[in-house]
């Protein structure tokens, strides 16, 4: 079985950082292009995605937003490319965020921690001494000897240095990474066969490529090796490299769904090496990668439950419930501004994270619905009919049948046929 690029279609995601953790799954920590787009300043609400076969990806839910950062820019937004590392039972989530309204001069590298890979993160402040003008895109590399290194940069500057054991402070001084040709941003480091690789985006105007360099030491000096990802059709390029179950992969983004460079989507393709360790040019595909053997699935704590328009659903703003095929009902009239429907008394199981899947039909390629859960805005969701008539997002629900799920239209003609809840916690 093969997947399809882009791999995440419910919301717009970019800047994927991929890691394999102790549970045997691979996780993607991505930035989130908020929709409708206002530009890079509106990026917010980090989500995490996981898989055990490289094809079926689970939205693990939102882990951090600008509202959770007390030291951050008062106006919020500007939650750009993140990364994550694991040490001694703790996951460390690193993200760039400005500390002031004058955003480009006040970048910091924030840190949030959790004892779980995709939930429970709490902001711990920022790394002292890092940041400043255009210094973004943190990457943390854990070497075989247990030492941790951070890389970050922008505006043509790339710095690297060793982290202390606390993972939130730098040992000594950060240093310039010497030997990188045409560095722009998006540093990423990995190790293969004893060789360190540093990949990054270059300065090709309005269509960055990915280049790389190698070294015998995690902090260089680096030997430039060439370009391995040509333009993706998107005005930015940002990627990561990971090995999973014996195969290497490149994680990157394009704008194939939206056609807009500020509404991007994560993709995956295979990464291959020559005998001398050189990275071959990545072949970008629409079909994506093949599934690998999935781990045995554990039992779910509770089963999923479906909710239909006839089950206590209210409508407003011109939307209405009409009879559909085989005795079912559907909500129509969702194309109007502020039109919508609300499912009440939605069960939340024992409370916590739940995958919420909205079932729909539409004839419009880029129609959307806005999701509200218990009054909180959980973002616009893509309604891409080609993806099978449903779109989903992981949200947080209260225990018991006390939850409210509201779907609001005004972003294309969407017909709502119901929703289902799968409790994850």
Catalytic (active-site) positions: 35, 185
Nearby residues of 303 by Cβ (< 8 Å), 6 or more positions away = 422
For the chain, how are helix, strand and coil distributed in percent, rounded to 5?
5, 50, 50
DSSP code for 2: B
∠ CA 300-8-201, rounded to 5°? 130
| 42 phi and psi angles, rounded to 5 deg | -90, -5
Q: β-strands 305-307, 210-215: how paired?
A: unpaired
d(CA 33, CA 138): 18
| SS3 of residue 82 by DSSP | coil
Residue whose pair of structure tokens reads 């985006």 in the numeric block:
201
Give yes or no for a contact between 229 and 239, defined as CB atoms under 8 angstroms apart.
yes
Dig out the tokens for 375 from the structure.
């009054």
Q: What is the DSSP string of 88-155?
A: TTEEEEEEEEESSSSGGG-EEEEEEEESSSSS--EEEEE-TT---TT----EEEE-TTS-EEEEEEET
d(CA 37, CA 410): 15
Q: What is the DSSP string of 185-229?
A: EEEEEEEETTEEEEEEE---TTS--EEEEEESSTT---EEEEEEE
Q: Calculate the alpha carbon distances from 421 to 52, 177, 292, 299, 397 in Å.
A: 21, 48, 27, 16, 10
∠ CA 369-373-379, rounded to 5°? 40
Burial 250-275 (b: 16+ CB within 10 A, else e): bbbbbbbbbebbbbbbbbbbbbeeee
């Amino acid at each position: 079985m093969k997947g399809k690029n882009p791999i995440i279609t419910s919301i717009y995601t970019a800047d994927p950082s991929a890691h394999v953790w102790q549970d045997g799954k691979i996780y993607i920590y991505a930035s989130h292009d908020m929709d409708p787009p206002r530009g890079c300043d509106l990026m917010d609400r980090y989500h995490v995605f996981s898989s055990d076969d490289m094809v079926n990806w689970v939205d693990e839910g939102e882990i951090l937003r600008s509202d959770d950062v007390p030291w951050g820019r008062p106006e919020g937004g500007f939650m750009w490319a993140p990364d994550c590392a694991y040490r001694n039972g703790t996951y460390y989530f690193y993200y760039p965020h400005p500390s002031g309204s004058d955003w480009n001069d006040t970048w910091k590298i924030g840190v949030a921690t959790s004892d779980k890979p995709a939930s429970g993160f709490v902001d711990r402040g920022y790394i002292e001494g890092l940041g400043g003008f255009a210094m973004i895109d943190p990457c943390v590399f854990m070497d075989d000897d247990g030492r941790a290194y951070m890389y970050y940069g922008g505006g043509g500057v790339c710095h690297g240095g060793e982290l202390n054991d606390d993972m939130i402070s730098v040992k000594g001084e950060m240093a310039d990474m010497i030997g990188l040709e045409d560095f722009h941003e998006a540093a990423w480091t990995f190790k293969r066969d004893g060789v360190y690789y540093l990949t990054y985006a270059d300065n090709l105007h309005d269509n960055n490529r990915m280049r790389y360099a190698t070294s015998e030491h995690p902090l260089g000096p680096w030997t430039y090796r060439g370009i391995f990802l040509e333009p993706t059709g998107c005005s930015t390029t940002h990627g990561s490299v990971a090995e999973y179950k014996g195969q290497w992969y490149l994680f990157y983004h394009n704008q194939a769904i939206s056609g807009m460079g500020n509404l991007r989507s994560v993709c995956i393709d295979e990464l291959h090496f020559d005998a001398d360790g050189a990275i071959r040019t990545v072949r970008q595909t629409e079909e994506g990668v093949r599934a690998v053997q999935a781990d045995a699935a554990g039992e779910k704590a509770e089963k999923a439950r479906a909710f239909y328009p006839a089950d206590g659903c209210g409508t407003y703003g011109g939307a209405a419930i009409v009879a559909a095929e085989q005795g079912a009902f559907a909500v129509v009239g969702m194309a109007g501004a502020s039109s919508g429907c609300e499912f009440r008394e939605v069960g939340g199981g024992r409370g916590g994270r739940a995958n919420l899947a909205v079932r729909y039909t539409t004839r419009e390629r880029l129609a959307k619905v806005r999701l509200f859960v218990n009054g909180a805005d959980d973002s616009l969701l893509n309604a891409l009919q080609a993806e099978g008539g449903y779109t989903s997002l992981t949200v947080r629900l209260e225990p018991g049948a006390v939850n409210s799920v509201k779907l609001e239209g005004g972003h294309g003609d969407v017909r709502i046929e119901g929703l289902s809840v799968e409790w994850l916690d």
